[in-house]
Amino acid sequence: MLSSDGKTAANVTGSYSTGPVRWRNASKSAAEATMWLCETQASGMVPYWHFVGAEKGLGEDRRWQTVGRTYFDWSAQHDQHFENKRSIANIGVVFGQRTQLFYQHASDAPMRQYMDGIYYALLEGRFFFDLIHEDRLQPERLSKYTAIILPNTALLSDQQCDQLRAYVKSGGSLLATFETSMYDEHNVRRAGVRSRGCFWNPCRRPGDRNQGQCVLRAHRAAASDPRRFP
């Protein structure tokens, strides 16, 4: 779930083909399309069902209409279970929008791979987690989380670094990977002492951009604390 302060977040689900050839007038299987809509609803977002194409006549595929109509008829009967709910996740994953747009790792790996890796690790581990936008790191927003994860969030401002330090000082756990915080919000590499980024990382060598799996872990108390992030 994207933590958005209770604001509506819609997920657009298309019924058309998403393969190499994007056929406009085609329909996904009912089971797959319904699964997408259910995942949207379960995450706290609002499903938005649409179709691309306006052809009329011979060959028009109308199966998509039945899928949407059936799902929304069901959803309308159970609205009470989806309204006025809040996330119970105690782990937050920071979504670095500037990093996604402007940062390029030396390995030329697509930035989405870092987010995808954390996403699937948490998903397969059955952890509840929220995605937190990088501009929503204020203490009052982070206080509900026992752990915050930054998947190679390379671009962070000084203010964002201060907010994350304050979170750790208040007892939160932090896991930061690769070049997290090595650049400021303008994509300028931090120099001097600041070249270490916001968080000192003992496994990183100066000037090494490819020190994979470098992780800083700060946690709140003794290892015996069962609430700490594993």
Q: Give one DSSP letter per residue of 19-47, joined into a string.
A: SSS--SS----HHHHHHHHHHHHHTTPEE
From 25, 54, 81, give the residue that closes a domain.
81
Say whether both 68 and 102 belong to one domain: no
Three-state DSSP state, 2? strand
Q: Give me the residue label for tokens 């259910």.
A: 38
Instruction: Tell me, yes or no, whether 46 and 119 share the same domain.
Output: no
Domain that holds residue 118: 91-218
| Residue at which a domain ends, from 60, 81, 102 | 81
96 and 66: one domain?
no
**What is the band of 205 on the pLDDT scale with cuts at 50, 70, 90?**
very low
Quick check: is 187 in a domain?
yes
**DSSP for residue 63:** H
> Residue 2 falls within a domain, yes or no?
no
Closest alpha carbon to 215 in 229, 227, 203: 203
Instruction: Identify whether the C-beta of residue 179 lies closer than 8 Å to the C-beta of residue 205.
Output: no
Residues 187 and 105 in one domain: yes
Amino acid identity, position 61: D
> Residue 2: what residue type?
L
Greatest mean pLDDT range, 4-8, 26-30, 110-114, 148-152: 148-152
Residue 3 within any structural domain of the chain: no
Half-sphere exposure of 229 (CA within 13 A, CB side): 26
Taking each helix axis from N to C end, the angle separating 30-42 and 63-77, rounded to the nearest 10 degrees, works out to: 30
The answer as to whether 145 is a domain residue is yes
CA atoms within 13 A on the CB side of 64: 17
134 and 47 within one domain: no
Q: Is the pTM of this model over 0.85?
A: no
Look over the chain and give the mean of its residue pLDDT values, rounded to a whole number: 76
Instruction: Please check whether residues 138 and 213 belong to one and the same domain.
Output: yes
Same domain, 56 and 131: no
Q: Is residue 224 part of a domain?
A: no
Residue 4 lies in a domain: no
Count: domains in the chain: 2
Could you give the CA distance from residue 164 to residue 149 in angstroms, rounded to a whole number?
11
Q: Are residues 15 and 73 in the same domain?
A: yes
Are 65 and 98 in the same domain? no
In this structure, are 58 and 143 located in the same domain? no
Mind listing the pLDDT tens digit for each residue in 172-202? 999 998 888 889 999 888 876 454 556 544 3
Q: How far apart are CA 97 and CA 155, in angstroms?
A: 9
- Token readout for 202 is 């003992």
85-143, pLDDT tens digit by residue? 677 889 999 999 999 888 877 777 777 888 899 999 998 999 989 989 999 999 999 99
Domain check: are 95 and 156 in the same one?
yes
138 assigned to some structural domain: yes
Least confident of 18-22, 36-40, 81-85, 105-109: 18-22
Q: 215-218 and 173-177 as β-strands: parallel, antiparallel, unpaired?
A: antiparallel
166 shares a domain with 98 = yes
CATH number of the domain residue 202 falls in: 3.40.50.880
Look at residue 24 in the predicted model and tell me its pLDDT. 58
In a domain, 225, yes or no: no
pLDDT category at 65 given cuts 50, 70, 90 is confident
